[in-house]
Structures are given as structure tokens and as C-alpha cells.
Structure 1
Amino acid sequence: MSELTGPSVDTAQRVNVGDELPPLRVQLTRADLVRYAGASLDFNPIHWNERFAREVGLPNVIAHGMLTMALGGRLVTDWAGPGSVLEYGVRFTRPVVVPDDEQGALVELTGKVTAVGEDGTARVTITARFDGQTVLGKAVATVRLP
């Protein structure tokens, strides 16, 4: 995964509802999918075999949903720090189709603070887009602020 731009925010500053996290843009290639398959032990052929993916009705090889979800988690931890996520959930709405070329698929992630608790927590809504469409729905993380 090659990062094009990435967050770098000091969250020790006051956090307010409406604050936006610095965006994260990640290129996913087929090589990234192979590495993720090895780490996760998810060797489903829809993530590496174009023929099989098409036979089951997909447009091409797709990224692991949990990999896409992890990118959303990375957006939040890059902003709030490692170990800050208390809760995180998403719904998978569309696949990230990864072509067999050098560019792969660009996943663009943004986040916005939607609530700040008096207990030092914040709720962040995450948007993940591929090819102009959202790929994660109801993506929300609760984080402990430093």
C-alpha cells in the first residue's frame, strides 16, 4: 500500500464536533491483496483469481472487506493515536475492485467528529470512497482522546 497523503494532527488540541480528520489516500494493488491474504489467512479466490471472481458475478478481483475496514481504522489511529479506538463498526456496501496493473485501486478516506463526550471520548464518522462511490456504510469509531 502506498500512501499518497496522510494525517498528522496533534489531537491534544481541543476537539470539536464538526472537526475533520486529515484525509488518507491509499493505492491498493494486487500485491497488497496477496500480502493481506497471507497476514489474515483469507485466501478466498475472489481476492486474487480474476477468472473465479468473474464466475461468481464480481467485476474483477476485489479487496478484502476487512482490509478496507482497516484503512478506516488507520485514518482514525493516525489522528488519535495507537490504542485510541474503543469501538469501531462498519457495513460493507460496495467492493473495491483492484485491477491487475501498477496503479491498482485508489481508496480515499475522510472522517468527521460527530460527538465529543465529557469523558474524553469522541465519535468519528468515516467515509471511504472508491471510484467516486462509498464502500463502507455506517462506519463509526469511538476513540479516547489523549
Structure 2
Amino acid sequence: MKAGEELPPMEIAVTRTLIVAGAVASRDYQDVHHDAEAAREKGSPDIFMNILTTNGLVGRYVTDSLGAGVRLRAVKIRLGAPNYPGDTMVLRGTVAEVDGAAGTAEITVVGANGIGNHVTGTVKVAFEGAFEDASRAVFQGAASQDGGSA
């Protein structure tokens, strides 16, 4: 993996079920995520996806694209155009930087739908081995401070 490399795009059908299930699963009971009439009363043409569902989809996109040996370290996103039922969101990612010594990479992600960019952001990942090495170093450091050994 190197800076500038593009991840394969991922298409996600934005269904009413996905929007409602994502809101319920993340305990977001705001009516604009499950009640079309209430959403219209508040100025929206329909229910729309919440940020927690989007955050999960961005994380899934990156881990699915990079493989099982990847762990999310940070997901920083900003919402734009709402995801409404019946649309499709296409997620695309580009490797922004790679730190081989630390075993990490930062991926820039954009998710667009029929009316514009729904989400933009960055995802920092650690690769298997780097995560375990960092955890081992922390454990060994703590053990040496109290006189124990790892």
C-alpha cells in the first residue's frame, strides 16, 4: 500500500430498512430517522440516515477494502447531503499516507449519493502485528515499572 492508491468503490443501497435499522441499532430515536411524516413536518422530504450509521458504513468500507488484518484507530467524518431512501451511496477511498514504521495508514473517504457528497472524512488504521506490537510494548513497560516481567 502506498500514498495515492485508490480503494475499490463500494455501492450501498440506501433503503428505508437500512436507515431505520441503523438508527434503532445506535439508539437514535429521533423521529426524522424513522417517521416520514414527522420528517416532512420538519422540512425534510423523507426520513434520512443518521451519522452513526454513516460512521459504521465508512468503517466497514475501509476494513472490507483493506482486509482482515486491519483495525480502525480513528474515524473522523463530516456529513453533507442527506442519504434518503431509494438512493445509492458510493464510497471511495484514497490512501493519504502510510507510516510503515508505525504500521498505520490514513485513508481519505468520500461517500456520494444522487444529490452530492453525503460524507467526507479520514480513517486511520493499524495493521495486524503493529497493533499487537504496540499492545505488547505497553504491557512490558507497565510490568517493568512494577518490577514484574512480561
Alignment match of 2:44 (pick from 36, 58, 67): 58
Secondary structure at the counterpart of residue 90 of structure 1: strand
Say if 2:71 is the partner of 1:71.
no
**Alignment of structure 1 residues 40-119 onto 2, 5 Å:** 40-82=26-68, 84-98=71-85, 104-118=86-100, 119=102
Q: TM-score, normalised to structure 2's length?
A: 0.77
RMSD: 1.6
Contact 2:83 2:118 (C-alpha < 8 Å) held by counterparts:
yes
Structure 1 stretches lacking a partner, 5+ long: 1-14, 99-103
Unpaired segments ≥5 residues, structure 2: 129-150
TM-fit CA distance, 1:81:
3.4
Within 2, Cα distance between the matches of 1:105 and 1:63? Answer: 11
Match of residue 120, structure 1, among 92, 103, 111 = 103
Greater relative CO (CA pairs within 8 A, separation 6+): 1
CA offsets per residue over residues 67-109 of structure 1, 9 Å max, x none?
Answer: 12211111111023355111111111221122xxxxx221100
Between 81-90 and 20-29, the greater mean CA deviation after superposition: 81-90
Deviation at 1:38, TM superposition (A): 2.8
Q: Is it true that 1:21 corresponds to 2:7 in the alignment?
A: yes
Q: Which amino acid aligns with 1:108?
A: V
Q: Is the 8 A contact 1:80 1:143 kept in 2?
A: no
**1-side partners of 2:65 and 2:126: how far apart?**
11
Structure 1 counterpart SS, 2:46: coil
Deviation per CA, 1:108-134: give whole Å up to 9, x if none: 000000101131111100010011511
Q: Whose Rg is larger?
A: 2
Identity %: 30
